[in-house]
Amino acid sequence: MRTLLLILLLVGQKDSTAQLTSFSFAEIDSLQNVEQRPVIVFIHTDWCKYCLAMKESTFKNKKVVEFISQNYWFVVLNAEENKTIVFREQSFNYIPNGGNTGIHELAKALATVDGKTTFPTTTFLDETYTIRLQLQEFLNAKNFLLVLEEMIKTLN
């Protein structure tokens, strides 16, 4: 019984030390002045189970965390954020579209593909903030790492 408990504890802690640092859009502007890097924006909502799954698995995977930390600036954007965000000297606001629903203008700009906004969306921006890729799906760590590696080749 003790052995089983120890094994369960160790397995549960396997990736628990992998922490991905995320930055605000204001911080990204400042960081780009220090070191130019492509930017990954993870656009999510609190109610999206696939978004939560990516946060809890993909973005806690040690290899994913290390690769992003070394090559990209990372931003997490709640699509239902109800505050003004200033990015590239432009203000973006929350747009209500019903009782307690709405979408943030910046999330809409970064997560809309072919007129549809889906969550989660992971948007890759180059150093000049041009959208280079938008992925509107859940990606496990293995597949996300493949995308990260391919995108860094394309962006450099």
Q: Could you read off the pLDDT of 84-134 as tens digits, one per residue?
A: 999 988 999 999 987 788 999 999 999 999 999 999 999 999 999 999 999
Structural domain boundaries in the chain? 18-155
Give the three-class secondary structure for 66.
helix
> Which CATH number does 18-155 carry?
3.40.30.10
Omega within 30 of 0 (cis) for the link into 120: yes
Task: Read off the pTM.
Answer: 0.86
Tokens of 85: 């965000």
Give the three-class secondary structure for 62.
helix
In terms of C-beta density within 10 A (0-12 exposed, 13-18 middle, 19 or more buried), how is residue 15 classed?
middle
Largest CA distance in the chain: 59
Q: Could you read off the pLDDT of 12-63 as tens digits, one per residue?
A: 444 445 789 999 999 998 999 999 999 999 999 999 999 999 999 999 999 9
